[in-house]
Amino acid sequence: MKLKTVLLAAVAATALAGAARADVLIGTAGPTSNAEALFGTTWQNGMDLAVRQANAAGGVQGQKLQLVREDDGGDPKQGTLIAQKQCDNKEMLAVVANFNSGVTIPSSDVYNRCGLPQVTNASNPKVTKAGYKNLFRPIANDLAQGAAPAEYALEKLHAKTAAVVHDKQAFGQGVAEVFRDTFTKGGGKVTSFSGVAQTDVDFSALLTTIRSENPDVIYFGGVMPAVGLFVKQAREFGLKGTFFGADSAFTPDFIQGAGAASAGAIVSFQAPPYDSSDALKTFAADYKKAFGEEPGPYSAYGYVEASIIIEAMKKAPLPLTREGIVAEIAKSDFESVVGHVAFQPNGELKQPFIFLYQVKDNGFSLVK
Amino acid sequence: MSAKKPWCTRVTSDAKTTHIPWLGAAVLLLLPVAVLILGQFLPTYPLRVLDMILLYAILGLGLNIVVGYAGLLDLGFVAFYAIGAYSWALLASGQFDIHLPFWLVLIIGAGLAGIAGILLGIPVLRLRGDYLAIVTLGFGEIIRVLMNNLDGLTNGPQGIARIDEAHLFGWTLSTPLDFLYLLVGLLIIAFLFVWRIEGSALGTALSAVREDQDAARGCGIDTTRVKLVAFCTSAMIGGAGGVVFAAMQRFVSPESFTFWESLVIVLVIVVGGLGNPFGAILGATLLILIPEMLRAWADYRLLLYGIALVLIILSRPRGLLPRAYGPSWLMRRLGGGR
Amino acid sequence: MGSVILQQTINALTVGSIYALIALGYTMVYGVLRLINFAHSELFTAGAFIGLGLAGALGVSGHPFAGVLVGVITFVIVGLIGVSVEIVAYRPLRGTSRLAPMLSALGMAVVIQNAVMLIAGRRPLIYPSFLPNGVVEIFGAIVTYKQITIFAVAVILMVGLELFVNRTNLGVRIRAVAENAETASLVGINPNTAISLIFFIGPGLGAVAGILYSSFYGVASFTMGFVIGMKAFTAAILGGIGSIPGAVLGGFLLGAIETFATAWMPVLTGGLIGTEYRDIFAFSVLVLILLFRPAGLLGEHVSEETMVYKSDF
């Protein structure tokens, strides 16, 4: 009996000592090696910045944080393997994963099974359908993303016709369908709804067809660099309609890539531009100092997603546990650099932020 | 097959020995048992990796029939794998609210893939060499683009989520350990099946086609039929693998079935050793394990992966386990016969 | 309607020129070694990035003459990379098995792509145009100077290659080795010289295609090679692999098929088959052509013997 107590105490002491010594690990998985490598890497850099700042401020409840980055290559199979690896790592208390909806859906099964708090950047509405309590999405989903520009086109621009193009990927097609449905419901006419391949760079054939339809509005559901090329070629072909794009067009690359053609284009994004508030200006400056380059389109989101976890860790009871952090994330209620963060019971934001920007004088200006 | 054999003799299996090679059989049996025992002690992540290795070993065994035995390069194998995966996704999910049992879909998936193999085979098998490779490549891409575009059937790029859990005769397959049992079982079946083919008249015909198609035809072998059978059986194994993959992930989307996956499976058998069932298993082990072990290298991971591939192929161009060192060889060595 | 057809034809010729230039690299290597050189598409990408780096280093950009200079230097650099890749990764495997070099090429493709990523970064780079700006209108169709330049450069290079192969001493050696390496070595031609030459010219042309491509579309990313490489390879097969005029014809044909399929498939089928089926269409045409002309459009009618590789695997 006595021996048992001693043993238990020893085990408890080692465990405590271990907890005090070891860093608290936060995991992340996103594409850092394929066509989306830029998004994935700059997104993870944003998290890295949040972790570094938290450590500089003394860590969380006396413990240092460490970000463990993984590359899922945008591949669902690798996503589940990494999820399991992170689950098995007992020191890992939360993850920011994944970047793609197609990876998040299967990986969330794995994360759910081990109760690891998961904050995702995937915008497909289906992601939260499983009703997992440990899954949170602090960004607007595709429904909001596609609807806002359609409403704007109908109400503000009084557009009657629209040509809709998408890249046949989960995100691009998702938002394009929402745009089409919202636009049609509002009385507009969609002249054509076409898919292109994600890797396409030449849209001349499609644009020649669209030119003959002469639409008021052209909506492109897809990601950079395709969206930049599309706008550029559209203008070269003399298309006059107002161009609308989805979030990933919200980058300086878009304006540079499309050149003068981008002027007047309207882009929807979940975050305000990096120069729109003091908090974001500071963020962009810090980012540049840390990584030597401008932040990518999702850097601010990576930063916010990691911050959500860090904020929750600050409040969670010691010793930190996965369950404790899940409970605290669910109670999140703070002002992040992009907007107010508070979750519904299904893990979606209470008030998803979506902004529309217009390209003016080589910069983005807020229109809505 | 040694060159000394007179043309067109009826060659019987090399493996056929008059007595049962007990020792060989025991060694062969020991392997899966060892894997299962190992599975009891492994943490979940290595278990999942082990599952992936077994899955790719099964796919490698399937592709080996066409590439290793018949000598036809198939660069679109992922198409059959996709057909199997989508069979489970469509026949056991809320997509059309059909919920068939796992064993049935395993048969259906393998069957559909087999039919696709025959349908592809009939027109293309008269092509030779690399033209066949290119047409199969095109077929693989066509299947993937169809999966991506037939939104009404496959949900397009969004994929099919919330697929049923697999049940097999009252046993629920949910943890990686459950799948380890299933995959070890399937691997044994596929292994014995492939090995049987190797030693059968069909196997002899296949190697005849591989070595010299015209001579084979001259010996009365219906080369087209032999190739069709090879294509069909190989596709069936690929389809079965796809069903298991979908049951494991419980989510399918076209991004899992790219041309790269076809290439990985070809790599599995070439690195391991063409025409050798052990080779497929060893190749799968290396090709799944190396990228996982390189994770610590972060940015340099794929660069090192590429270098490792080139080095392995340069050092062993005929694979780590060449054709001659297959299970029959093991049996002979251990069985003491011949 | 006429102007639309003309416009689409011009679009097709631009895309086709680039496919054809890349296809040449595949077809030359295949013709001699029967090897699908998977690394070729990544050398195309490397060419675009090296061109960009050179333009920065030399302080020239945006000028057509600077473009010629950059193009020539890039051709040489990438050509030399191509030669070294062959010596390191393919030559030791010659005569072992046919699949081994192909998969070694695949490994090299992964290596080159990731090397480009590590050196140039993941961010798609905005590419300065080396091509003249401006447009002309011909019968209602808009033709940019860029399109004209791309077509012209491609034609000059292709005619030059054809003359080189058919009219020069070195060209004769290449053809001899392509025909039969063993016989060629009997008459005193060193196959290695010819093969190195092929691995110099093919990737060099691919690199020029990379510069043209990135200049035209204004962007270069480290992953751009894979898809375009696969299409160029399809073009090479379409025309008859191993045949230089075949690769050119295949390139233009594939460009035309893609362009017109995108433009008219949705119209002809009443929207049933959309533009997203373009790739299926291209591959289906390939399959059909191979079924009726198993050696491709301009492929030589070789006897079945030479197409069968006995116990190669």
Which of A48, A82, A85, A114 to substitute to test the interface with B, most B CBs within 10 Å?
A85
Q: In which band, very low, low, confident or very high, does the pLDDT at B336 lie, cut at 50, 70 and 90? A: low
Which of A39, A165, A204 to substitute to test the interface with C, most C CBs within 10 Å?
A204
Specify whether the CB–CB gap between B70 and B227 falls below 8 A.
Answer: yes
Residues 265-304 of C with CB under 8 A from B: 274, 276-277, 279-280, 283-284, 286-287, 290-291, 294-295, 304
Q: Out of B48, B52, B249, whose CB is closest to A76?
A: B249
Q: Out of C110, C279, C308, whose CB is closest to B302?
A: C110
Which of B134, B148, B274 to substitute to test the interface with C, most C CBs within 10 Å?
B134
Residue A259: what pLDDT? 67
Q: In which band, very low, low, confident or very high, does the pLDDT at C155 lie, cut at 50, 70 and 90? A: very high
Contact A229 C278 (CB under 8 A): no
CATH value of B22-330 in 3.30.1330, 3.40.720, 3.30.980, 1.10.3470: 1.10.3470
Specify whether the CB–CB gap between B143 and B264 falls below 8 A.
Answer: no
Query: Any idea which residue has 């989510």 for tokens?
Result: B251
Contact C310 B302 (CB under 8 A): no
The Cβ of residue C58 has, within 10 Å, a number of other Cβ atoms equal to 12
Contact C279 A197 (CB under 8 A): yes
The answer to whether residue B44 scores a pLDDT higher than 50 is yes
Residue B333: what pLDDT? 77
| Subunits close to B (at least 3 CB pairs below 8 A) | A, C
Burial of B287 (0-12, 13-18, 19+ CB in 10 A): buried
Alpha-helix residue ranges (DSSP H) falling in chain B: 22-41, 44-64, 78-91, 102-124, 129-149, 151-154, 176-199, 201-211, 213-218, 223-249, 259-272, 277-293, 301-315, 327-335
In the A/B pair of chains, how many CB contacts fall below 8 A?
A: 75
Is the four-CA dihedral C48, C205, C118, A106 of positive or negative sign? Answer: positive
Domain ranges of chain C: 2-306
Residues 34-63 of C with CB under 8 A from B: 34, 36
One digit per residue, the tens of pLDDT, for chain A of length 368 reads: 444 444 444 444 444 444 444 589 999 999 988 778 888 999 999 999 999 999 999 888 888 999 999 999 889 999 999 999 999 999 999 999 989 888 999 999 999 999 999 999 988 888 888 889 999 999 888 888 888 888 888 888 888 899 999 888 888 888 899 999 999 988 888 888 888 877 677 787 788 888 888 888 889 888 766 777 788 788 777 787 888 887 666 666 666 666 666 777 777 776 677 777 788 889 999 999 999 988 888 898 999 999 999 999 999 988 889 999 999 999 998 888 888 899 999 898 888 877 787 877 767 777 76
Residues 138-197 of C with CB under 8 A from B: none
H or E segment at A256? helix A252-258
Specify whether the CB–CB gap between C99 and B274 falls below 8 A.
Answer: yes
The Cβ of residue C185 has, within 10 Å, a number of other Cβ atoms equal to 15
CA atoms in the 13 A half-sphere facing the CB of A207: 24
Contact C263 A208 (CB under 8 A): yes
* Per-chain mean pLDDT for chain B: 86
Name every chain C residue with its beta carbon within 8 A of the beta carbon of A223: none
d(CA C22, CA C158): 11
Residue A222: what pLDDT? 81
Q: In which band, very low, low, confident or very high, does the pLDDT at C309 lie, cut at 50, 70 and 90? A: very low
Contact B292 A84 (CB under 8 A): no
Q: Out of C15, C135, C218, whose CB is closest to A202?
A: C15
pLDDT, mean of residues C104-126:
90
DSSP state of A89: -
The answer to whether residue C183 scores a pLDDT higher than 80 is yes
pLDDT digits (tens, 9 = 90+) for B197-231: 888 888 888 888 888 878 888 888 888 888 899 99
Residue type, A275: D
Contact A35 C275 (CB under 8 A): no
CATH topology of domain A2-140+277-341: Rossmann fold (3.40.50)
Residue type, C225: G
Specify whether the CB–CB gap between B151 and B257 falls below 8 A.
Answer: no
Residue in B closest to A87 by C-alpha: B45
d(CA C123, CA C221): 7
Which of C219, C227, C264, C279 to substitute to test the interface with A, most A CBs within 10 Å?
C219
3-state secondary structure of A152: helix
CATH topology of domain C2-306: ABC transporter involved in vitamin B12 uptake, BtuC (1.10.3470)
ipTM over 0.90: no
Specify whether the CB–CB gap between B247 and B88 falls below 8 A.
Answer: yes
Secondary structure of chain C as H, E, C letters: CHHHHHHHHHHHHHHHHHHHHHHHHHHHHHHHHCCCCCCHHHHHHHHHHHHHHHHHHHCCCCCHHHHHHHHHHHHHHHHHHHHHHHHHHHHHHCCCCCHHHHHHHHHHHHHHHHHHHHHHCCCCEECCCCCCCCEEEECCEEEEHHHHHHHHHHHHHHHHHHHHHHHCHHHHHHHHHHHCHHHHHHCCCCHHHHHHHHHHHHHHHHHHHHHHHHHHHCEECCCCHHHHHHHHHHHHHHHCCCCHHHHHHHHHHHHHHHHHHHHHHHHHCCCCCCHHHHHHHHHHHHHHHHHHCCCCCCCCCCCHHHHCCCCCC
d(CA B15, CA A189): 71
Name every chain A residue with its beta carbon within 8 A of the beta carbon of C8: 204-205, 208
CA atoms in the 13 A half-sphere facing the CB of B15: 23
CATH topology of domain A142-269: Rossmann fold (3.40.50)
pLDDT digits (tens, 9 = 90+) for C255-307: 998 888 877 777 777 666 777 787 787 788 887 887 777 777 777 654 443 44
Name every chain B residue with its beta carbon within 8 A of the beta carbon of A126: 158, 161
pLDDT, mean of residues C147-165:
91
3-state secondary structure of B263: helix
Residue C310: what pLDDT? 35
Q: Could you check whether the bond before residue A106 is cis, i.e. omega within 30 degrees of 0?
A: no
Q: Do domains A2-140+277-341 and A142-269 have the same CATH topology?
A: yes
Residue B126: what pLDDT? 73
| Subunits close to C (at least 3 CB pairs below 8 A) | A, B
In the A/C pair of chains, how many CB contacts fall below 8 A?
A: 97
Q: Out of C217, C259, C275, whose CB is closest to A229?
A: C217
Q: In which band, very low, low, confident or very high, does the pLDDT at B31 lie, cut at 50, 70 and 90? A: confident
Residue in A closest to B250 by C-alpha: A106
Contact A130 B162 (CB under 8 A): yes
In the B/C pair of chains, how many CB contacts fall below 8 A?
A: 135
Domain ranges of chain B: 22-330
Q: What angle do CA B221, B225, B226 make, to 5 degrees?
A: 65
Q: Out of A33, A109, A129, whose CB is closest to B302?
A: A33
Residue B104: what pLDDT? 94
Q: Out of A193, A209, A228, whose CB is closest to C219?
A: A228
Q: Out of A193, A205, A238, whose CB is closest to C263?
A: A205
With an 8 Å Cβ cutoff, the interface of chain B facing chain A consists of 43-45, 47-49, 52, 148-149, 156-159, 161-162, 176, 245, 249-251, 253, 255-256, 292, 295, 298-299, 301-302
Specify whether the CB–CB gap between A151 and A182 falls below 8 A.
Answer: yes
Q: Out of B212, B266, B302, whose CB is closest to C310?
A: B212
Contact A253 C126 (CB under 8 A): yes
Contact A81 B45 (CB under 8 A): yes
3-state secondary structure of A358: strand
d(CA A257, CA C215): 11
Residue A287: what pLDDT? 94
Specify whether the CB–CB gap between C312 and C97 falls below 8 A.
Answer: yes
Residue A338: what pLDDT? 84
Residue in C closest to A211 by C-alpha: C4
Residue B25: partners with Cβ closer than 8 Å, 6 or more residues away = B331
Name every chain B residue with its beta carbon within 8 A of the beta carbon of C35: none
Q: Could you check whether the bond before residue A98 is cis, i.e. omega within 30 degrees of 0?
A: yes
What Å distances lie between residue A104 and B249, C14, C67, CA to CA? 11, 39, 45
Closest of A207, A204, A246 to residue A227, by C-alpha: A246
d(CA A5, CA A90): 24
Contact A76 B298 (CB under 8 A): no
Residue in B closest to A168 by C-alpha: B157
The answer to whether residue C5 scores a pLDDT higher than 70 is yes
d(CA C229, CA B259): 13
Q: Are strands A217-221 and A161-166 parallel, antiparallel or unpaired?
A: parallel
d(CA C7, CA C24): 26
DSSP state of B6: P
Residue type, B75: L
A361–chain B nearest CA distance, Å: 36
3-state secondary structure of A99: coil
Q: What angle do CA C306, C309, C313 make, to 5 degrees?
A: 170
pLDDT digits (tens, 9 = 90+) for B68-98: 888 888 989 999 999 999 999 999 988 899 9
Specify whether the CB–CB gap between B195 and B15 falls below 8 A.
Answer: yes
Name every chain C residue with its beta carbon within 8 A of the beta carbon of A177: none
| pTM of the full structure | 0.87
